[in-house]
Structure 1
């Protein structure tokens, strides 16, 4: 509270606090310089937790039929002024906007479909067999277990520390045909540690034999240089 840092235009809530006032204070760290900013909320609809969250805050993040700013203003008994164009308001209003401006819709990148923006068609791909997917699943699940074991006993949930979950393993296996580097992994999945991305990449390259191929390429390059 009371900290004004300019040029903060994106605030991400990984989970939601229990009180609406706390949520607003944290969300208010963005846009302190007066420029439009994004608030992104990532949460699991876990009834055991949500029942302890203030009802208006639950409605703000779950109700996809009413303007989120409108709910927020009503909760604090503040007059709600409609923003124009609508796409500058919230994700609910953005879907109703018909301004036809070049900037519409103005979806947050995290809200866009994976295929939106299109693939150029030049993305490198590999052929993957059912057996290779099965082997990759086993190896990635083993890594996920190892990472959880490493961070067990800490103050934070182990999955919050490394961000590598069983759901993510399934997603990676489904897209393994386009994963070749640690940068690919960090770009396509919410992995925030480059070291972990490298571990995942090493497993993928090992399963598909790419590591041997890359070593041969490096060897040929060094030989030609000599």
Structure 2
């Protein structure tokens, strides 16, 4: 007997969720707008989760906010911010899990890793921020989907750097999602769509409430400024494989020659100091740095060449700026 089966699929579409992407050098000050919110609105600040790629990033952000808020976050019961990752103390984990679910919670911002994911259902979260590009669109969809579960308007924001999008740090689909000039909602839904049977995405109206790309094209006349976007979005500033960003510094042949000599001298110093960083400066790496020097405008651009150490990237950027 033949058994007829049917496939029923539903795209994880969230019409009340607006998507934003922002190219960032990952300067902690990019989130000063949220600190200002906490200082101004305190316990009325919109509930926010900030997902970080690792524990170090999570801890650095938490400490930056803690110092900026001064003594407002010292008392556990009145704390405006919290942190949740696998190494967080049990008492703090329990506090975050218990307090953040309350509608009148004093806890307004949680810095978290993927550990703060399974089994979490808090309906009144209004913002989910990814501090660094997510590793896959499945992870992004699940984490961003924690916002707006009560049906109210909510936002998902990705702050990404060139390093986040480098090969091996995220999927190709995430890289395309962050770089596309097309509608982010359409791009995300197309990834999950199993067929092309005519399903159409329900897009918010006006377009400025859909995503950061649609916002650039909106002509409704009532577009509000997005405080979490530090500058007008410009997708041409996102590094591609050839580092052809359209923004560059002019270097003469003599300056390039001097840069290579300075890099060789720097490498010799690292060798004399028996620094492990010298292993990253092979001849091919030096040539690659010199070739792309006009387009290396921040530390993340240098790291995107394949270097691992932020300390090394900072020193190389200084050498480029000094020629």
Shorter chain as normaliser: what TM range? 0.3 to 0.5
Q: TM-score, normalised by structure 2?
A: 0.32
Larger RCO of the pair (alpha carbons < 8 Å, separation 6+): 2
Q: Where is the strand percentage greater, Structure 1 or Structure 2?
A: 2
